[in-house]
Amino acid sequence: MLSSLKKKMTIRSRDRILGGFTALNSSTISQKRYKHFFLGVLITSAIIVFSLPFINFSSNETKTFHKIDLNLIANLPKVKLKANNEETSPTDTKCTHWDCFNIYRCGHTGHERIAVYVYPLARYVDENGASATPQVSKEYYDLINAIVNSKYYTANPEEACLFIPFIDTLNEDQLNVNLTWRALNQLPMWSNGENHLIFNMISGKSPILSTQLGKALVAGADFDTYTIRKKYDISIPVFSPVAKFAYINNTSHFRNIKVVSSQINIDLYFMDELRNLNKKFNDQILLLDQCNEKGYQKRCEVNTENQFRYPQILKKSTFCLVFRGQRMGQFVLLEAMASNCLPVIIMDGHVMPFEDIIDWKRIAIFIMESHLHTLMDVVNGISENKIEEMKKCLLAIYDRYFSSIEKIALNSLEIIQDRVFPHLARSYDELNMLPSEINYNPLHFPTTAPRSLGFTALILTYDRIQSLFTLIQRLSKVPSLMKIVVVWNNQKKDPPPMSQFPKIQKSINVIKTKANKLSNRFYPYKEIETEAVLHIDDDIVMLTSDEVEFAYEVWREFPDRIVGFPSRTHLWDNVTNSWKYESEWLNEISMVLTGAAFLHKYWSYLYTYSLPSNVKNWVDDNMNCEDIAMNFLVANMTNKPPIKVTPRKKFKCPECINNEMLSADIGHMVARSQCVDRFAKIFGRMPLKSVEFRADPVLFKDAFPEKLKRFNDIGSL
């Protein structure tokens, strides 16, 4: 059915839009040439003088290789092609990375990076003086320039693993294809195109360049699922020189149109469907076509002839349609992406640009050509939240991979790099996720830390001796406890002598601090010999041994998280327009307070040495919010929420002053809210993540004989 549909389609006219790319402005380059001339002479003579001894006295010839000089572009040296006596070789359609790409050419440089050689600048002409390519386009110049200035470039063809001919094949309409084939076949390292990369954005009419390229890789914009050699060729976008005029760097930009169709010369079948939809959803669709007076940067509404500036009009729409034209690759794709307008792709079988690495489902909508009539149902079925999310991803992906010809060129090389050195290849998360989405674990451990290591309990105390001793007594019964470190923060008084401390089986270290600072609790003391640290206030005497041991078990499974007992959450206060700290019992949590929590020692190190000093100083000056700061630090780094263990919610004891129950001191809650809001500003974002999740022992709630349960003594509330 689909193929019959395609046959029915009539192409109205060729969708040649810009007539190709921008011609290079050679005057700017020739000016630069003179500026660099004398410097060049100087450097060259210096090189000659210094290399004389080597040339004269070494028996075997040492070659020097010079970086390609792009200034020559204004006046390309002519290379006369030999008469065409050899056959061109048809493109090997069966090529895969494994059998056509010669991987043994790679890795001669001593670093694990592909080395890319660009052939000398030249104008290839035949015996009659006809040239394979016209003047080099600005786009091709920029592309080559990006490659030559990248870390992949090498001037030495012998160590190269990838070769790029200096022949502007971007726009096939401008190309003498027969001569281009001849020129390629006469390149010194061509050998049937092995490890050669040909860039092609606008494909042409017969003869088609890509039919006679042997084993060469094609980075092309016109692939469909039948023509691409999967994991071999690279699908790239057609670069649009005008996309920059539509660029918008703000995903909350106001848009009053739901869908805009702006592509010109679209197929009649598409146009008919769009007219039908337009009748039904007139207020949601803006249907544009060419104006009577032609010009790419102008569009007129189909029924009213209202005129709009293009591509700027795309900034007003949430969705932008991208249709298959005579070619697959369409300028409008990049123009839509630049304007942060979600592309709706109506091109059956098109291989999307960089499809190997980009998850297009996150940033675009796909509709089958024969289902175009469902367009409005599809786009109206996407929630506002989803749209916001997609726009954020779209902006990030556009900025990273599509916003300039340089990025397109380098990303093409990086895709080959990832294939050649797969152990270094970028992961899905790195390639597609926003920085705020990537779960990052800075602790490169086995996922489950060994139980035998145990944990250190770190108690910050001032002068609540009795409570401290009770706590030590209770902690000493926890099986996995290795050591207790008491941080004595009272400068006016010495800690009690060791003889007065409770006699327990584990060792106790007392550390006297030099100043009464809250950040002392997060110093990575050398006395802490375990990775797991139980940070605990001297007044938290209600936790049972089972609760603490169980929390340690949970931490072992999640060593990069804060795992502990008192939980809180943050909320957006839409009255004061600020972040708010919340201690009510809600269904979600986003912080676990460090008054009773397990943390990896690494976080103490990070708190001490890399927490922004304005956060750290604020905590020490105000003697408050060190626990909130720690939650920010961990969440900002890992993008993960903390883990609350066991049901206990009240951590109140008779002598405690610092409790935050519902009746608690309002001033305290206000100060805590200010901390959350202040830290969010300093971090530049709200890193805390909420979660509706708590860890309890497996058999905890089951009606089951107690002696069969591992953790019996789990407190309630």
Ligand X SMILES: *[C@@H]1O[C@H](CO)[C@@H](O)[C@H](O)[C@H]1NC(C)=O
Amino acid at 423: H
Amino acid at 414: E
Taking the C-alpha atoms of residue 186 and residue 180, their distance in angstroms, rounded to an integer, is: 10
DSSP per-residue letters across 424-493: GPPPHHHHHS-TTT-------S-SS--GGG-EEEEEEESS-HHHHHHHHHHHTTSTTEEEEEEEE--SSS
Instruction: Looking at residues 169 to 188 of the shown chain, list those that interact with ligand X (rule: CB under 6 A).
Output: 176, 178
Residue 298 Cβ vs ligand X, minimum distance, rounded to whole Å: 25
Query: 31 or 250: whose CB is closer to ligand X?
Result: 250
Distance between terminal CA atoms of the chain?
65
Q: How many residues bind ligand X (CB under 6 A)?
A: 14
Binding mask 51-80 for ligand X (x = CB under 6 A): ------------------------------
Which region among 110-118, 244-252, 533-541, 557-565 touches ligand X (by CB under 6 A)?
A: 244-252
Query: 194 or 573: whose CB is closer to ligand X?
Result: 573
The answer to the question of residue 253 lying near ligand X (CB under 6 A) is: yes
The answer to the question of residue 254 lying near ligand X (CB under 6 A) is: yes
Query: 134 or 207: whose CB is closer to ligand X?
Result: 207
The answer to the question of residue 577 lying near ligand X (CB under 6 A) is: no
Residue 310 Cβ vs ligand X, minimum distance, rounded to whole Å: 21
Nearest to 627 by CA among 568, 542, 694: 568
Query: 174 or 516: whose CB is closer to ligand X?
Result: 174
Query: 469 or 683: whose CB is closer to ligand X?
Result: 683
The answer to the question of residue 249 lying near ligand X (CB under 6 A) is: yes
Query: 228 or 394: whose CB is closer to ligand X?
Result: 394
Nearest to 405 by CA among 162, 74, 144: 144
- CA-based torsion, 662, 667, 668, 669: positive or negative: positive
Query: 155 or 571: whose CB is closer to ligand X?
Result: 571
How many residues make up the chain in this entry? 717
Which of 304, 499, 574, 577 binds ligand X (CB under 6 A)? It is 574
Q: Which residues contact 606 (CB under 8 A, 6 or more apart)?
A: 633, 637
The answer to the question of residue 134 lying near ligand X (CB under 6 A) is: no
Amino acid at 335: E
Residue 481 Cβ vs ligand X, minimum distance, rounded to whole Å: 31
Instruction: Looking at residues 613 to 642 of the shown chain, list those that interact with ligand X (rule: CB under 6 A).
Output: 636-637
The answer to the question of residue 612 lying near ligand X (CB under 6 A) is: yes
Provide the 10 A C-beta neighbour count for residue 188. Answer: 8
The answer to the question of residue 250 lying near ligand X (CB under 6 A) is: yes
Active site residues: 627
Instruction: Looking at residues 656 to 685 of the shown chain, list those that interact with ligand X (rule: CB under 6 A).
Output: 683
Residue 411 Cβ vs ligand X, minimum distance, rounded to whole Å: 18
Taking the C-alpha atoms of residue 10 and residue 98, their distance in angstroms, rounded to an integer, is: 40
Pairing of strands 578-582, 567-573: antiparallel
Residue 441 Cβ vs ligand X, minimum distance, rounded to whole Å: 12
Q: CA of 611: how far to CAs of 96, 205, 365, 679, in Å? A: 49, 60, 41, 11
Q: Are 197 and 164 in contact (CB under 8 A)?
A: yes
Amino acid at 514: K
Residue 179 Cβ vs ligand X, minimum distance, rounded to whole Å: 7
Residue 611 Cβ vs ligand X, minimum distance, rounded to whole Å: 7
Instruction: Looking at residues 527 to 556 of the shown chain, list those that interact with ligand X (rule: CB under 6 A).
Output: none
Residues of the shown chain interacting with ligand X in the complex, contacts defined by CB under 6 A: 176, 178, 207, 249-250, 252-254, 435, 574, 612, 636-637, 683
